[in-house]
Amino acid sequence: MVFGDFQDNIIITFGEDIGWLVGHLLLLGIAATLWLSWSNRDHIRTQSGWNKSTLADLATIGALTLAQYVIFTGTFGFPIIASIGLAFAFSLCFRGLINTVNG
């Protein structure tokens, strides 16, 4: 239920009993990773080297890529993978252009 089709693949691969165990171990691992990230958030924030400018840059690239993806698939009817690649490549080129003009 949580993993969708991936859960079916786990059961097909490992069988019913071991698949149940693997699925629950995956859930436990995800929960542990989220808990560790949350409990060490101050250390991660101060030691990662990322600041608000980096996060804003990533958010802008993501939003621009998403907007172009919608246009490429919806308006032009491009295939999904081609749309993602083209949108991401254009977003990075646009970022480079903006950095060059500003710098």
Q: Could you state, in order of their start, the residue ranges of all structural domains in the chain?
A: 5-44, 50-102
Structure confidence by residue, pLDDT tens digits, 42-86: 888 888 888 888 888 999 999 999 999 999 999 999 999 999 999
Q: What is the pLDDT of residue 44?
A: 82
d(CA 25, CA 41): 24
Quick: pLDDT tens for 1-42: 778 888 899 999 999 999 999 999 999 999 999 999 999 988
* Positive or negative torsion for Cα 46, 34, 3, 28: positive
Say what the pTM is.
0.57
C-alpha distance from residue 8 to each of 2, 14, 40, 55 (Å): 11, 10, 34, 36
pLDDT of residue 99: 86
**pLDDT at res. 45:** 80
